[in-house]
Each structure stands twice: as structure tokens, then as C-alpha cells.
Amino acid sequence: MIQLQYLTSAEVPQIPRRTGPLRFVAYAPLEQAAFPADAVIFRGNARQIMLMTEAARAAGVFTDGTLMGRPACAAVPQALAASGGVASIGCIGNRVYTQLGDDELYLVLPGGALVETLEQLGAISAANSELERFHRARAEAAIA
């Protein structure tokens, strides 16, 4: 990656990573998981992740508004270390292996932030619907 000029040597120590040993990793759809989640990964288009980040911010778990690029896998240890949400635009390796679409990105939340975020999602979605109607009407009036 360094020879390709994808990363510089100076960047490598700055990449978030786990500090403790990793004993096991299990991935599962949240509704099918038989274990409590340390981290929850949301995958969606820009609008969906916008709503989720707004809900996470309202829940107090996306206060920094962190957006990460490469490597996408670093978003998980970053979210766990910061105890907050991290949005990730992904990286090419992740996009290839997960078939992440060009119009998709991620939001990673610590598992403990899930309930609070989902509790805010309804209000955030409703507010966005109202605000969209308002702004569309305002934009149409400006054109007329």
C-alpha cells in the first residue's frame, strides 16, 4: 500500500486499531445475533446514513461527526475507543469484498449506543419529512 502511494508510512501509526488482544469475532444480522453487540454496523445510502447520524447525534453518540475513509475496518475500533459513532465512506478493499455500492457508506455505533440512537430515529425521520416539505415548497416558490 505504501509502494502504491495509497498510504504513507507516517499514516500507519494513526490508523485506529484494537489495543487489546482479539479473542474472537462474530458477525450477525442484529435481529439474529445470539450475543450482545460490541459494535453495530449500519450500511446505507447517503440519505439513510444522514438520518442515522442525526439520530446518533440527538442521542449524544455522534458528537464529533467523525467521517473516516481508508481503511474501512478501522471504523470499528475507532467507534469503540471513542464510545461514539463513526461514519465511514469505506475503502476499495471493503467495497470489493462486501459489494458496497458506490452510493453506500457506513455508520458504526458502539453496541451500547444502539437503543438511544433508535429511540431518536422516529423523531428525526419525522422532522426530516416535515423539513423536506418546507424546503421543497420554499425552493418552488423561489423559482416561481
Q: What is the pTM of this model?
A: 0.85
pLDDT in 10s for each residue of the chain, 144 residues: 777 776 777 877 677 777 887 777 788 888 898 888 899 999 999 999 999 999 999 999 998 888 888 889 899 999 988 888 999 999 999 999 999 999 999 999 999 999 999 999 999 999 999 999 999 999 999 997
Unique residue bearing C-alpha cell 476499495: 92
Q: Please say whether the beta carbons of 75 and 109 come within 8 A.
A: no
Q: What single-letter amino acid sits at 71?
A: P
3-state DSSP assignment of residue 10:
coil
Contact partners, residue 32, CB within 8 Å, separation at least 6: none
E strand or H helix at 43: strand 39-45
